[in-house]
Structures are given as C-alpha cells and as structure tokens.
Chain A
Amino acid sequence: MTPTPIWRRYSRLFGADPAADVKDELRFHLQAKIDDLVAQGWPLETAREEAERQFGDVRAVQQIGIRMGEKMERRKRLQDYWNDSIQDARYTFRTLRRDPGFAAISILILALAIGANIAVFSVVNTLLLRPLPFPDSRQLVWIAPPPSACGLSCATYSADAYEELRDQSRVYQDLTGYMAFTSADNLRLTGRGEPQPATGFEIIGNFFQVLGVHPAMGRLFTAEETRPGVHPVALLAYAYWRRQFNSDPAIVGKSVELNGTPITIVGVLPDTFDFGAVFSPGAKVDLFTPLDLNLERDWGNIVTLIGRLKPGVTIAQALDDANRVAPNIYFNVKNPETLGRYKGDLIPVRLKDYVTGKLSRSLIALWGAVGVILLIAGVNLSNLLLARAIARAKEFAIRGALGASRNRIVRQLLMESLMLSSAGAALGLGLAGSLLQWLAHQGSVALPLLGNLRIDGQAMGWTVLVAIFTATIFGLIPGLRIAGGNLQEMLKDSGPGAGQGRKHERVRAVLVVFEVALACVLLVSAGLLLRSFVKVLDVDLGFQPDRAASIKVDYDDTAPTGEASQAKRGEIFRQIIDRVSALPGVEAAGISDYLPLGPNREWDSPVPKGKAFDPAELPSPLVYVVTPGFVRAMGIRLRGRDFTWADGPHSEKVVLINASAARFYWPGEDAVGKILMRGNEEDHIVGVVDDVHEETVEGGTGAQIYYPAMQQGPSGAQLVIRTAVPAATVAASVLRSLRDLNPKQPAAEFRPIQTIVDRAVSPRRFFMLLVGAFASLGLLLAALGIYGVISYSVTRQAQAIGIRMALGASVGRVQLDVVSGTLRLAGVGMMLGTLLALAVANLISSLLFATPSWDVPTYLGMAFVLMLVAAVSGYIPARRASGISPMDALRSS
C-alpha cells in the first residue's frame, strides 16, 4: 500500500464520520470491479450492472456498516472518556499526595459531615421512612380515644368493647390488643434456683397472627388456649430465650414455673420481633401469655386495640366505620346504660404514626441540621479548593494554553473533589456505623425501633448521593471560577495584589459569610433546645427523684375475703417497711402500686360531699394505692397528715388528694377534713399533696388521689426508699431484708427514681445532644473557614504589611487591622444568620419547652460564642502578620 498523502490523513480532523467511511469503502469496491470488467472487455454500462449484481444488496450492506460504525464510535468515545478519567484520577492522586495536610483536613471535614448525614439518615429512615417490621404494615392501625387527662385508663377499652367492635365493624380483617396495665418485672420465674424477675405481657390470643409475626420455633397460641381453665401457656421473646434459657433448642414443650404456677412454653418469637421497640419504647418484654377476656370483663378499660384493615381500606373509611359502630358499643354489656360511652372515642390512626408520629418533627429538624452541616462543610471545602486552585492558576493557564479545554479543566477539578468526597464518605460510613452501633444499644433512650438501627442498602445509596452532591457543590464553584477566568490574565497575575486575586478573595469572603450564617442557625437551634432541656430539668416534678430508689416487692395476696386480704396485706407491708426503715442509711420507706412517669390508671369519679357538679365535668382522678411513709419516701410535699397503720379495714376511710383535685372540688377552700363520696363510701380527706407529674415531665397534671393499701386493693407493690447515702449502697441489705420476710422475693432491679425521670426526658436529651454536637461541628468548620480566608489574605498582603511596618505602623495596629477585618466578616455573617435563625426557630418552636423562639439570651450567647471564635481564628494569622519582617517582605518580591 502507498502511504496516504498528508492532506488525506487529516481529512477527518474534525471528528470521525463512520457513514462516509462505509460509503467510500463500498464505492471503491464497486469501482475496482468495474475497472476489472472493463479491462476484460465489458462495456461500461453492463460492467456497472454486473458489478452490482455480483456484490449483492449494496444498500443493506451499507446500512449494516453504518450501524456497526456508529456503535464502534460510541464505544471509542466512552473508552476515551474513561481513559481521561483514569488519567485525571492518577493525576489527582499524585497532587493530593504532594499536599497531605490539605488532603487529610478535607477528608476529615467531609467524613464528619457525611458521617453525620448517614447516621441521621439511618435514624430517620428507620423511625420515619421505613415501614414497621410487619408484613403489609400499612394495614395496621392503632385505635385510641383522643388524648385526655386521665392517663392510660382513658386510652384503652374494656373487654366487652373489644368484642363488640370486632363483631360490628366491617373494615377490619381482624382486631387484637394487649393488656395495657403491665409494669416491668411483673412476674417471677421460679423453680430454677433464686426467683428471677420477668416482664410478661398478656395479649389477646390472635395478637401475633394479626401483626403477621411467625414464631422462630414452636407455634403461636391457639384459640383454645385463650379460654379459661386451659393449661397455661407462654411464648418467649427471642432475647429472653437466649439470655434466660441459654438458647435451649428443645425449649418448646418444656414447662417452667411462673409465680409458682407451671406453664408450658409453646414457642419462641423471632429475633426480628421486638415488642418493646414498637409498643413501649425502651422497655424489654420477656414473654407473652394469652389474655383471658372473661377474667377481665369487669375491670373497665384495660386493653389497647390494634386492627388490621382489609386491603384498600383507608383511614378515613375506618374512622367512618368506627363512628358508625361507636353508638352501639357497650362499656359493659351487663350495664345497658353504658351503651354508647365510646362515642367519638374510637379513632384509628396508622400504627406507624402512633409509634413514631410524635417524633417526626424532631427527626426532620435533625435532618435539617445535618443538611446544614453538609452545606457548611461544602462551602468550607469549596474555599479550600478555591485557595488551592488560585495557587495552581498558572498551572491551569499553561494547560489551557497547551490545548486542554475548559471542560477538561473543570472535569479535572471535579475529579479532585469527587475523590476527596469519596474518601470522606468511606471514612464517614465507618464513623456513622460505629455511632449507630452505639445508638442501637442505648436501651435507656425511650425511642421506638432504635434497636433496628444499622447501615443498610438504603443508607449506602444515600451515602453515594451525598458524596456526589457534596463533590459537585464544592468542586463546581472553584472549577467554574478558574475555567471562567481569562487565561492571559492568569498567566500575568503573578504578583500579589493583582486584580484576579482580589476577585477570588471576594468570592471566598462571601463563602465565609455564608458559612458563618449557617453556623449561626445551628448554634441558635442548639441553644434553644439546650435552654428547653434545662427548663425541663428544672420542672418541679412534685417529688424529689434524687436519693430515692424503688424495687418491685413480691407478697402473698391470698385471703378468703377482701377485708381479710386488706388486713393481711397491711401486716406484710408494715413488716417490710419497719424492717427496711431500720436499715442504716434509710431515711424513709413506703410502698405504692404505681410510680410517677410510668403506667397509671383511674377508677371512677368521686363526688365532693355537699356540692353539686355536672357529672360530665367531674374529673376521674389517677389512683395510687400507697402505704404510710410513701409520700415522705418519694419526697412529695404534704399538707395535713400522712396515712398511718391505724387506718385499717375497719376504721374510717381516708384519702389524700393532690392540689389540682383540691382546687377543682373546693376552690378557695381548705380541702383537708372534707369528704369525697364514691357511691355510698365516704372518703375523708386527711391531706393535700403537690401535683405529681404522672405521665410526662413536660405535660401538665390532672387530678390524683391516693388510697391507703390497708383499705383498697393495690395492683402490685413498688417499695420506695429515701436514703441518706447513695441508694446503691443499701440495695443489697434491702433485698436481704425482703428475702428474710419472703423467700419468694425475686432479685428485682433496684432502680433509682432518677433513672425514671432520665428515661422520661431521654428523647429530648437525645435530640438536644445530637443538635448540640452538630452545632459544635458547624462552629468548628466555620472557624476553619474564617481562619483560611484571613490567613490567605495576610499572606497575599505580606508585602503591604511589611511596607506599613517599615513606615512605622506598630505591631498592635497591624494585628488590630487583621482581627477587625475578621470580625467584620463574622459580623455580616451573623446578621444574615440571625435573620435565618429567627425563621428556623419558628419552624422548630413546637420542639421547644418554655422557651420562645426569639429567646434573647440564646441569641446573645450565640453572638458571643461566634465573635469569640471569629476573633481567635483571626488572631492567629494576625500574629503571623505582625511577625512579618519588613526587609523579608520587601525582598520576597
């Protein structure tokens, strides 16, 4: 072959043209053929026809060729792009290795920001976005009355109501529920050495079938087993089976002893089912027994209701159905006048909303906070890259002059940011993983579903998104600035103080202002949440949690008659309290069946004697059945007298009421000495106690009433002791005394009352700590940003500063100039930030407690902290500036 002439070689300089190539090639073939045929003596016209005949379908072959050519061209372009990217990546890797400090700092910043984002995304995803861990969980609804002041008793339904609703409503596949009045450690596992406390929930027989939970071993309850008189059975929670029974593979069918009664284990629930995580956050539940509705029929409101809707039924339809059925439902079928008592009180909500709905605002706020962190980190990185890019402006200019397109240079810069953010994301993923690992095991935080936290595929996907997003925002700005600059300018822009440099500095100042403003928003939000938290801790709970502790007490409550059992119980309680009070270090001891900030119940609506009230208005107080000494042990202030052991079954009936109840029944009068009527029973009020926060630290309190355990029936016994020494030091001796009196006493947990309070405020503490941590991170990043900009500007102005100092400017004067420049920058950012913060604070106002969204101390504190941080970040470069030797500065240029 003869070499191609030079003009032909470059005929395709402007890109390949596969179609033209194919045509050319085929045309040559035909022409060559015609030439040969003509040479053999064919006339030209017939030669052409013969050539085309021998070739076959020219058009079809040409089509095939064009298609194949295009495909190849595309592949080649992709290959080129890929090769370029690999080249960019190699180059970036080399340049980053030359500057390990820069690489390390950027990767660390990104890791913190991206890690925070992944962690919070996982929390949000687990608690808000992901469906509950049940099949078709959108069909599950929680049925409850609207919130009211009378606690759990007004949030539950009677056994009759459950059955009536189940039979009459048409929208449910099935309804179920569980016994709501269950406290921790309500059972004793006996017959295996020392009695062990256990927490068991009584559930309506079809509970697991409705939820769609299948046992890991054995079977669920049969309909037979929910009827009375059948041999008792139980299902074990997976964790309890592992802990208490050493994962005994042959546990199904074995018999264990609960409270002295043999009970057969029919199955073990799967590891994935965590009752506490869904229904009572933070609580551990060990086993489940079938609830006998017949036994509970006369106990009033006792079960919560959970339903599984038929496919396609909406919440609105379910509500319509409930409103249709409600007037036909009895509270108690035996009392016809209780028909329709649940009117307006059957409100189905999605189970998911019930479990996590209250948290959605906090979680979204948290999500916003990490989003802001990401922005700050992005701006910061943008600034760092811009500074680097300016330092490398000449390199880019030369590359541009040598023919690299702007696209190529922007791509190079994006590759750099992408590599940094990928490294940051990888490290962040690790950080988030360990953070989640830690969070998942925070049993003391009363948040639902926390145990399910982990890095899953969705979190991974989110990580990739976040990494790309970050890389784009922080890589694009410097990229566009550099690529948009004039190459000639850049090549000339060698000396400090040149125009281009100043323009870049302005961009960087704007970025820092933006960063400070965002940090402001975070600081104010964190400050407001912190103030709210402090206010919550300051709430007068009505009792003194410090130096008080409680332990669940087991006692023999069998007696032939109510009166006999009251007398017997009084004697047992008296012995316990006498023994425990006599222990060294114990100041007071008393027993109550329920403790504040936990489950509670109401009985009925007593009527103040001699006063007329509309029965509908009368409150239904929360009931606590207590012994003498409880009020003092709990640290509840009392006016009047406490119960005494003399208040027995045969003496005058006495009660204590709280201040709210006293104010309601006898406004402006002293309630002590007055009488409350419960039916025909006269209850003499012997004292008035402070309102005790019964359900939440933050909520208000309603009417409360205390009955002596010697006159009414308590449901269980919690011994509360107040100690002069740390409560833990007397735990052993208290338990020993209880064992002496009752060998069946299990080794129940000795709980400081403070932990009950801590648990109640734990979600708020959790969010406050997280937002606080994010705010600190934001502040740190903003400080880094300020430092970077000021430091760069000092370097750039070294010569000017040197000249000024040579002309007699003092060290202090130079430093002052630099620091005041910094403060100016921070000041502008802060003004912008304050406006932003006011808007954001309004959005989170529902998360605040007793703190207005314009809380002045918070804003002042934020301003002080930011100014201080800005001053410090400016002072370091300022010191450097004042250290510039005039001679060196002048010589360096």
Chain B
Amino acid sequence: MDPAKLEFFRGTLDVLILKSLVWGPLHGYAITNLIRRQSDQALLLEEGTLYPALWRLENKGLLEAEWGLSENNRKAKFYKLTPEGRRQLRHEVKTWEAYVTAVAKVLAATQPPAQEEVA
C-alpha cells in the first residue's frame, strides 16, 4: 500500500474505532471483530495497526481505558468513549458525510460544468 492510501486509511480507522465504541466499552479484539462484521467483511484491517491507533486516541483523551475481565474470564483492557471522544465522533461523521457527498457529486456528473463567468 502506498503511503498516501495508508494516511487516508489511518484517518478512517480513528473514526471507525470511535464509532465501534458507541454502544459500550470493548477490548481491542472485540473492536476488530465489530468493524469486520459491521462492514460485512468488506473492511479487513491489519489487526496490528489497530493498537497504535487506540493508544493514540487514549493519549488524546478521546478514549478511556480500564482493565477488566473478558467474556471467558481473561484480563483484558477495555476502552470506552469519553465525552470528548463522543464530540469528536459527531464531528468526524459530519466531515465524512460532506466528503462523500462532494466526491459522489463529482463522480456522478454527466456533463462538464457551465463556463465560469468572468467579471
């Protein structure tokens, strides 16, 4: 993957992580599973890249981590959204939608734009 795409992916990963925590605290493994299932297996992220993103979000104060026990009683680190994280999620979703709309408009165009008027 070339660096430009990676950059784009990382930005998207952040918002995906935030979104996956909307329904409650999860540990890292659960987050990968959730993203895969929600996207109908379309988004297969390399699991290793998830953790640096999680820690970065934690450092920024968008996530809060706490040690707890997993479903099968193993010690796991659970992440949950902070109020700040929730605000960030709303903001990024809006930005994402605007972006998608704009790109869609361009891609759906059927004729060149009208000549710009020169004053």
Contacts and interface: CB of A to CB of B under 8 A. Distances in A.
Interface of A: 1-5, 8-9, 21, 24-26, 28-29, 31-33, 35, 54-58, 60-61, 64-65, 68-69, 71-72
Contacts of B67: 4, 8-9
Contact of A25 (B28, B46, B47, B69): B28
Contact of A2 (B51, B55, B69): B69
Contacts of A26: 51
Given A28-B74, A72-B59, A65 B51 contact: yes
A5 B69 CA distance: 9
Nearest to B55: A68
Interface stretch (B75-83, B86-94, B101-109): B75-83
Contact of A29 (B25, B28, B46, B75): B28
B47 A28 contact: no
Given A2-B69, A25-B28, 16 more contacts: A1-B68, A2-B68, A4-B69, A9-B67, A21-B77, A24-B75, A25-B27, A25-B76, A29-B51, A32-B74, A32-B76, A55-B48, A64-B51, A71-B59, A72-B58, A72-B59
A342 to B, nearest CB: 77
A60 B49 CA distance: 10
Contacts of A5: 69
A29 B74 CA distance: 10
Interface string B44-61: 001111011001101100
Contacts of A3: 68-69
Nearest to A62: B51
Interface of B: 25, 27-29, 46-49, 51-52, 55-56, 58-59, 66-70, 72-78
A51 to B, nearest CB: 9
Given A1-B78, A21-B77, A32 B52 contact: no
Contacts of A33: 29, 47
9 contacts: A24-B77, A25-B76, A28-B74, A29-B28, A29-B29, A33-B29, A56-B48, A64-B51, A64-B52
Contacts of A21: 77
A28 B27 contact: yes
B29 A32 contact: yes
- Most chain B C-beta atoms within 10 Å of own C-beta, residue among A9, A32, A69: A32
B51 A61 contact: yes
Contacts of B74: 28, 31-32
A320 to B, nearest CB: 67
Contacts of A71: 59
Contacts of B58: 72
Contact of A65 (B46, B52, B78): B52
A2 B77 CA distance: 12
B75 A1 contact: no
B68 A29 contact: no
A24 B52 CA distance: 15
Nearest to B48: A56
B77 A68 contact: no
B77 A25 contact: yes
- Most chain A C-beta atoms within 10 Å of own C-beta, residue among B27, B47, B52, B75: B47
Nearest to B26: A1
A4 B76 contact: no
Contact of A68 (B27, B28, B52): B52
A9 B68 CA distance: 9
A28 B67 CA distance: 12
Contacts of B68: 1-4
A61 B29 CA distance: 15
A1 B25 contact: yes
Contacts of A1: 25, 68-69, 78
B14 to A, nearest CB: 15
A58 to B, nearest CB: 7
A54 B72 contact: no
Nearest to B30: A32
A4 to B, nearest CB: 5
Task: Report, nearest first, the 5 A-B pairs whose CB atoms are least far apart.
Answer: A56-B48, A1-B68, A32-B29, A2-B69, A55-B47
A55 B49 CA distance: 8
B28 A61 contact: no
B52 A28 contact: no
Nearest to B25: A1
A2 B66 CA distance: 11
A126 B97 CA distance: 66
Nearest to B47: A55
A28 B77 contact: yes
B55 A69 contact: yes
A28 B51 contact: no
- Most chain A C-beta atoms within 10 Å of own C-beta, residue among B56, B58, B75: B75
A236 B59 CA distance: 66
A61 B78 CA distance: 18
A54 B47 contact: yes
A60 B48 contact: yes
B47 A68 contact: no
Given A1-B25, A1-B68, A64-B52, A28 B46 contact: no
B49 A56 contact: yes
B70 to A, nearest CB: 7
A8 B28 CA distance: 20
A26 to B, nearest CB: 7
B17 to A, nearest CB: 14
A126 B90 CA distance: 61
A68 B75 contact: no
Contact of A61 (B48, B69, B70): B48
B83 to A, nearest CB: 19
Contacts of A31: 74
A445 to B, nearest CB: 61
Given A4-B67, A28-B75, A68 B29 contact: no
A628 to B, nearest CB: 97
A695 to B, nearest CB: 75
A55 B69 CA distance: 22
A61 B50 CA distance: 9
A25 B58 CA distance: 14
